Amino acid sequence: MNFIPLSIPNFEGNEKNYVMDAVEQGWVSTAGSYVNELEKKMAEFLHVNNVAACQSGTSALHLSLRESGVEPGDVVIVPTLTFIAAVNPVKYQFAKPVFMDCDDTLCMDPVKLRQFCEKECVFSDGILTYKGSAVRAIIVVHVFGNMADMESIMDIATEYNLSVIEDATEALGTYYTDGRFAGKFAGTIGHFGAYSFNGNKIITTGGGGALTASDSDTVDHLRYLSTQAKDDAQFFIHDEVGYNYRMTNLQAALGVAQMEELPEFIRRKQHHYDLYLKAFEGFELAELMPFRDGVFSNMWFYSLKIDTSRIKASMREIVKRLHEKAIQTRTVWGLIHEQKPYRDDDTYQLEKAPYYSSRILNIPCSTQITEEEINYVANEIKQLLRELANG
């Protein structure tokens, strides 16, 4: 069996044609028709009025925090079970993160979020404060293509006058099928939505990202900030501090082609998940994590929860042993509050995040993986875990 990677890009459409067209036109930097076309296609797909393409999901989050009015010393509520890029922009604004627990979807726990606001904070004159600092925003991550409980989170945000920034970097194409937000896509429910086109995402521009907001004029302002806040490009007049966050035309050319393939990529992700689900059905040492009911998920990453109480090996050893069998896997991220830059920041009732972080194994999920490879991965994992359980 050839080596089976965890998640790699799939370029089987018009990627080469569009990129070569951009090169031949000479538009390779942040100006060019493909940037506008990608923004248009994203807006149409998400059923929103306006999208701005930018350099990364991280830059999208940073711009959203700035537009939310987050200032030095303010508090932003963030998850600890996520990739660190979801939290780093808080530090860019010299603000203070408070780390919130996850629920069984691996997304932010709205019950604990409400408890934190009610019991640990003071709400007066329309401002929520925690230890004397204003709480300005919540960053909600839709983990692995799942969807957080946005109904509950938006109710809390409205009650306490908080900005909601959806990190939908892993959830492009995920949407609610039931409830108050039926038909609404991840990233389009809160005040801001951030997307990523990193190399391992469901579609990619190599690097790159995009953002949207509940107000179309706000997106225009964020686009302006992403291009160094140019008020007069010819005479170099700038009325605000801006950023070099605009996507390049070459990246956007790749993205336009990838957007054409997105529905098919999602279909494959869902089909492959079903194949894994069948392969692990009834297995006593691990189970494939489900996605939230009432949600159409892009099923970007598949999470296998290992019964570590019965396995006589570390997660690191499991990853190593599977690599020797030509299977690339990874554990879930190291919890952010345990990382060196964040050890002095506050946490709130973290219970499920440590539980899941010590048990989750992400397994191969590329859109071009074959059924034969899926069966091989499942069988090798089951065999290895049984060996490790028996000592």
Whether 310 is in a domain gets the answer: yes
Nearest by Cα to 146 from 107, 111, 109: 107
- Domain membership of residue 379 (yes or no) is yes
Residue 281, domain extent: 262-389
Q: Are residues 75 and 223 in the same domain?
A: yes
Kindly report the number of other CB atoms within 10 A of residue 290's CB atom: 13
291, part of any domain: yes
Q: Along the 391 residues of the chain, how does pLDDT read in single tens digits?
A: 799 999 999 999 999 999 999 999 988 888 889 999 999 999 999 999 999 999 999 999 999 999 999 999 999 999 999 999 999 999 999 999 999 999 999 999 999 999 999 999 999 999 999 999 999 999 999 999 999 999 999 999 999 999 999 999 999 999 999 999 999 999 999 999 999 999 999 999 999 999 999 999 999 999 999 999 998 888 899 999 999 999 999 999 999 999 999 999 999 999 999 999 999 999 999 999 999 999 999 999 999 999 999 998 999 999 999 999 999 999 999 999 999 999 999 999 999 999 999 999 999 999 999 999 999 999 999 999 999 998 7
Predicted pLDDT at 32: 86
CATH number (domain holding residue 136): 3.40.640.10
pLDDT at 232: 87
Residue 327 and residue 382 share a domain: yes
C-beta neighbour count of 88 within 10 angstroms: 17
The total number of structural domains in the chain stands at 2
Provide the residue type at 35 as one letter: V
Q: What was the pLDDT predicted at 233? A: 81
Q: Are residues 123 and 231 in the same domain?
A: yes
Among 258, 290, 309, identify where a domain stops: 258
Return the closest-CA partner of residue 9 out of 251, 318, 321, 330. Answer: 251
Instruction: Please check whether residue 147 is in contact with residue 185, taking contact to mean a CB–CB distance below 8 angstroms.
Output: no
Shared-domain flag, residues 238 and 274:
no
- One domain for residues 91 and 132: yes
For residue 363, give the CATH number of its domain: 3.90.1150.10
Task: Say which residue the tokens 């990627």 belong to.
Answer: 15
Structure tokens belonging to residue 44: 């149409």
